[in-house]
């Protein structure tokens, strides 16, 4: 909520490509022709990903058929990687459309992929407004990034994060 309501947000859209961007610094795991996958800088739990179209667009109705297909294919690939590498017991997958639905960035459609494990809930967020995450998100990024390099676009253009 501090990010959503805060005044000190970075300029521009966190999902839109920047010239000569530093993928690791921005926690970007994959950036293809139509879709981008990045880690959430303010995760609910380890492995919390954000999957968005590259084109700045606010809603599902605004997507082209190719963007919709690619977005779903990358969502499936990301979940497969998380299953293999992090072994969650399940997932919460969703998108918040509009500020009243909880969208922190309402102008750029994005899916949240949140891996879940049996017993991963606790009382600390309720009583202390603190999240307990067992691994620093930079360590999670380093362990996941090599696996996302294997994802290719439909033209078999694979993206190198180096």
C-alpha distances (whole Å) from 121 to each of 56, 117, 129 are 34, 9, 13
Find how far residue 66's CA is from the centre of its chain.
20
**H/E stretch holding 75:** helix 65-86
C-alpha to C-alpha distance for 140 and 129, rounded to whole angstroms: 22
Strand ranges in 21-129 using DSSP code E only, listed in sequence order:
28-31, 35-39, 49-53, 90-95, 111-116
Residues annotated as catalytic are: 110
């Amino acid at each position: 909520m501090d990010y959503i309501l805060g005044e000190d947000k970075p300029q521009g859209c966190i999902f839109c490509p920047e010239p000569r961007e530093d993928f690791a610094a921005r926690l970007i795991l994959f950036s293809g022709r139509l879709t981008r996958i990045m880690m959430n800088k303010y995760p609910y739990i380890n492995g919390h990903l954000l999957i968005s179209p590259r084109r700045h667009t606010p809603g599902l109705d605004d997507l082209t058929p190719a963007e919709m297909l690619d977005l779903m294919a990358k969502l499936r690939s990301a979940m497969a990687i998380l299953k293999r590498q992090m072994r969650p017991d399940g997932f919460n997958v969703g998108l918040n459309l509009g500020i009243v639905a909880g969208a922190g960035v309402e102008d750029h459609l994005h899916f949240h992929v949140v891996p879940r494990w049996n017993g991963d809930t606790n009382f600390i967020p309720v009583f202390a407004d603190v999240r307990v995450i067992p691994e620093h998100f930079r360590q999670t990024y380093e362990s996941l990034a090599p696996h996302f390099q294997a994802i290719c676009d439909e033209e078999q253009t694979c993206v190198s994060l180096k």
